[in-house]
Amino acid sequence: MWASVADVSGSLSLQGAVRAFLRGQYGVALDIVMESPAQPERFLFGAHIAFRMRQYAEALQWLDAGRQKSAFVTAHHRTMSLAIEAAALASSGRVAEASKTLRSILLPPPFNALIAGEIAYYTALCAWLLRDYNQALSILDATDVSTSPNLQARFEFMRGWVHGAHGRFAEQVACNLRAIHLFEEEAAPDVGAMAMVLRSLSMLARDLVCPHVVPVIARTESTISWTDDLSLEHFQVLRALAWSSAMSGEYILSIRRLNEAKVVAPSPQGKMLSHLDHAWIAQLSKEPLHLRAELAEADACAAQVQWETVVDEEAGALMLAAELYAPINETRAFELLALAQTAREKLSPWLQLGRDSRVQGFFDFAEAHVRLARGDRRVARHRAERAFTVFSEVGYEWRAANAALFLYRLTERQDWLECVERVAAIYPRSFLAAELERIRSRGVLPIEKLTNREQEIAELVKCGLKTKEIADRLGISANTVRVHKGNIFRTLGVSDEFALLKMLMRL
C-alpha cells in the first residue's frame, strides 16, 4: 500500500523511504521522510514508521503535524490518519480515547483494496488491543487483501493474535506459518513484519510441542537480512532456537545460538537474559562454577536496567533469574522476585503473553523455587502445582513436566513422575529424560531428597558447625537455618541433630 501511495504522490524520496522501510531500515526510512515535501503521504508514512518502531507518541505527533498543515483533505487520508491514531492510542494505554476514535471510522472504507487493507489492519489492531477480539476478526474477514501478499501475511498474523487471545496456540502457530509463506511469495517482502511473525512463532515453538516448526524458523532466520532496527526480534528468535536445541539435547548448537544472541542483544536486560540462558544450560550440565559466573554477569547487567520502564517480555529475565538464584542465594532470589512482581504489572498492551495465565505460571514456578530455598515447602508446593496447572492447560508440555519433576522431588508421588515420563517420551534427549533415567535407575538417595540449600546445611552440620556458625557462613539468619534444619529432620525421618549426624556419617 505504501509503495502505491508513494508512486501516486510522485515523490522519489518517499519511494526511497518505502524501500528502506520494507528492508527493515526504519531509522533510514524516517530520516528520508523527514526531508520529504509536506504532503499527506509524508505525515501518514512517518506515523506508520514511528508506530512500527513502537514510538507511539511520535506517531501521534506525525498525525498532529499533518492536521496542523491541513494535509488530510481527502476521505482516505482522513480515515487512514484516524486508524493509525486509534491503534497508537490503544498501544499507549489511552483506552477511552482509542475507543472513541475507533467508533468514528467507517468500515469497510470505500477506497481501493490496498488503502482499505491498511486501514482495516490498524482498526483491527486497535480492536484487538482493546480486547474486542470478535470485532478484530470481523474487520479482517470483511477486507479483501488478496492482491498483496504482504498485507495478507499481516492479516494472518493478526488472526493468530485473536486465536492466541482465546488460548488456541496451535491455531496461532498455523497462522504464523501461513504468514511466513505469504511473505516469501512477495517480491519485496516487509522484512520487519516478517521478523515480528518469526519472533512470535519461535517463542511459541520453544514451549509448545511442534518440532516441525523449528526447521522453518531456522531456515527463515538464516535468510532474513537482519538490520539494527530488528535486533530485538533477531535476539528473541535466536534465544528461542537455542532453547529448542537444548530440549533436543543439542547443547553445543544451543550454546552457539546463545552466543549469537548475545552479540545482537539490544539492551542491558537483553544481555542479562543472554547470561541467564547460559546459566540455565550450566545448571542442566551440572557446572556450578559456570552457573555462578553467568549469574554474576547477569546481576551486573540487571544493575544497569531501569526496570520500571521495561514493558515487554524481557521482564521475564527477573523470573528466570529468581529461579536460578534460589538454590545459591535466596535473599537475592527474593529481591529479584519482588522486582518481577512489579514489572509484570506494567506489561505492554501489545504483549499477548501478559493477557493470559502464562505469566502467572512463570511467576509461580519461580516463586516455588524461592519459597523452597527459604524452607517453606508448603507454599513452594502450592505454587508449583499452580504453575503445573497453567502450563498443562496452555499446552506447554515440557514446562509442565519440569514443574512435575519439582513436585516429585518434594513429595515423591509417583503420579508426578508419570507426568514427566509422558513428556520425556516426546523429548528423549532432554534434561527431563536424563533426570527421569537417573531416578528410575538409581532411585533417590536420602540426601537427594533435600534441596540444594538443605544439602549445604546438612554438610555443615556434618562438619560440626552450630546454627549461628552456619548462618554466618551462608549469609542467612539463624532462624532461616532452624527452618531448614526442621525440614531436613522431617525429610530424612530423624528427630534431632545427633540422629542426623549418624545418618550423614553413613552416606
DSSP codes joined into one string, 146-204 = TT-HHHHHHHHHHHHHHHHHTT-HHHHHHHHHHHHHHHHH-SS--HHHHHHHHHHHHHH
Q: What's the rounded Cα separation, in Å, for the pair 477 and 312?
A: 36
State CA 79 to chain mean position distance.
34
Q: Find out whether 224 and 197 touch, Cβ atoms under 8 Å.
A: no
Q: Find out whether 450 and 491 touch, Cβ atoms under 8 Å.
A: yes
Give the pLDDT score at 500. 82
Q: Where are the domains of the chain?
A: 148-266, 267-394, 449-506
Give the pLDDT score at 8. 40
Burial class (CB in 10 A: 0-12, 13-18, 19+), 506: exposed
Q: What's the rounded Cα separation, in Å, for the pair 431 and 452?
A: 18
Q: What's the rounded Cα separation, in Å, for the pair 382 and 363?
A: 13
Give the pLDDT score at 59. 97
User: What are φ and ψ of residue 82, in 5° steps?
Assistant: -65, -40
Q: What's the rounded Cα separation, in Å, for the pair 148 and 470?
A: 68
Give the pLDDT score at 19. 93
Residue 298, number of CB atoms within 10 A of its CB? 25
**pTM for the whole structure:** 0.84
Q: Which residue has the cell 517420551?
A: 425
Burial class (CB in 10 A: 0-12, 13-18, 19+), 490: exposed
267-394 and 449-506 have identical folds: no
Q: What's the rounded Cα separation, in Å, for the pair 436 and 424?
A: 8
Collapse the DSSP code of 310 into the 3-class scheme (helix H, G, I; strand E, B; otherwise coil) and give the result: coil
Give the pLDDT score at 206. 93
Q: Find out whether 209 and 395 touch, Cβ atoms under 8 Å.
A: yes
Give the pLDDT score at 507. 61
Of 178, 238, 184, 190, give the one whose Cα is nearest residue 214: 238
Residues 451/453/456/461 CA torsion (nearest 10 deg) = -90
Collapse the DSSP code of 425 into the 3-class scheme (helix H, G, I; strand E, B; otherwise coil) and give the result: coil
With residue 423 as reference, give the H or E element that holds it. helix 414-424
Q: What's the rounded Cα separation, in Å, for the pair 448 and 458?
A: 11
Q: What's the rounded Cα separation, in Å, for the pair 48 and 30?
A: 10
- DSSP 8-state code for residue 401: H
Q: Domain 449-506 - what CATH class?
A: mainly alpha
Give the pLDDT score at 348. 61
Output the tens digit of pLDDT for each of the chain's 507 residues.
Answer: 555 544 444 456 688 999 999 999 999 999 999 988 888 889 999 999 999 999 999 999 999 999 999 999 888 899 999 999 999 999 998 999 999 999 999 776 677 888 899 999 999 999 999 999 999 999 999 999 999 999 999 999 999 999 999 989 999 999 999 999 999 999 999 999 999 999 999 999 999 999 899 999 999 999 999 999 999 999 999 999 999 999 988 888 999 999 999 999 998 989 999 999 999 988 887 788 889 999 999 999 999 988 777 666 667 888 999 999 998 898 999 999 998 888 777 766 555 655 678 888 999 999 999 999 988 999 999 999 999 999 999 999 999 999 999 999 999 899 999 999 999 999 999 999 988 988 887 665 677 778 888 888 888 888 888 889 898 888 888 878 888 888 888 788 787 787 787 787 766
Of 193, 192, 196, 203, give the one whose Cα is nearest residue 242: 203
Q: What is the CATH number of domain 267-394?
A: 1.25.40
